[in-house]
Amino acid sequence: MSPQQDVQDWIRKTIAQNDVVLFMKGTGQMPQCGFSSQVAQILGHLGVDYKDINVLDDMGIRDGIKAFANWPTIPQLYVKGEFVGGCDIIREMFQAGELSQLFDEKGISYDKSKMTA
Amino acid sequence: MAMVAGEIEHLIKAKFPDALISIRDLAGDGDHFAAHVVTSAFKGKTRVQQHQMVYEALGGRMGDALHALALTTALPKD
């Protein structure tokens, strides 16, 4: 199996095994890019447990995740194995209350007192 | 390598001739843009698909020559 296939398999496994996964630059605690930071802040604000994957640690994942979702940028948020969006979409969904709606639908627990901005 | 707003608009327009496009150069450095794209081509598409369509129109420049393009998409109002 090629290394690219290994990475794709690893991504598939990671988003299957974790309800909420954020591929980002840096970590949830210490984001290293403004766009990643915005999404981490929104998830933090909503009190959602998520797995953060720092793509700066691994070039293979950094490129692999872009191919995986056919999405050219990072961050990327996955909920229950499904790609939800990057920074713009997550921010838009959060502000419209659609993000908490999605978490409700998918059975993801969050702090309901902080549904919108 | 930076791009100018007109180039971005031209590329999107080439793909979606009916599109209404507004672009703002956020930092004045030719590197951080916000674009709002309205076209009937988005009908029936999810938000992710709409963004993917715009990225496709930009032909791989997004995330490369175009470092930061804050994108919002919408359908035309009737």
Tell me how far CA of residue B23 lies from CA of A20, B28, B32, B63, in angstroms.
32, 12, 10, 17
| ipTM confidence score | 0.85
Number of domains making up chain B? 1
Structure tokens at B26: 């956020």
Provide the CATH number for the domain around residue A55.
3.40.30.10
Q: Tell me, what's the pLDDT at A116?
A: 63
B39, B20 contact by CB (below 8 A)? yes
User: What is the three-state SS of B3-60?
Assistant: CCHHHHHHHHHHHCCCCEEEEEECCCCCCEEEEEEECHHHCCCCHHHHHHHHHHHCCC
- From the list A66, A89, A93, the residue facing B51 with the nearest CB is A89
| Residue written as token pair 């969904």 | A93
Which residue from A minimizes the CA distance to B71? A88
- Give a yes or no: residue B3 inside a domain: no
The residue among A36, A89, A90 with the most chain B CBs within 10 A of its CB, best to mutate, is A89
Domain of B61, in residue numbers:
18-74
Confidence tier at A112 by pLDDT (50, 70, 90)? confident
Domain that holds residue A91: 3-114
Within-domain flag for B9 = no
Stated pTM of the model: 0.90
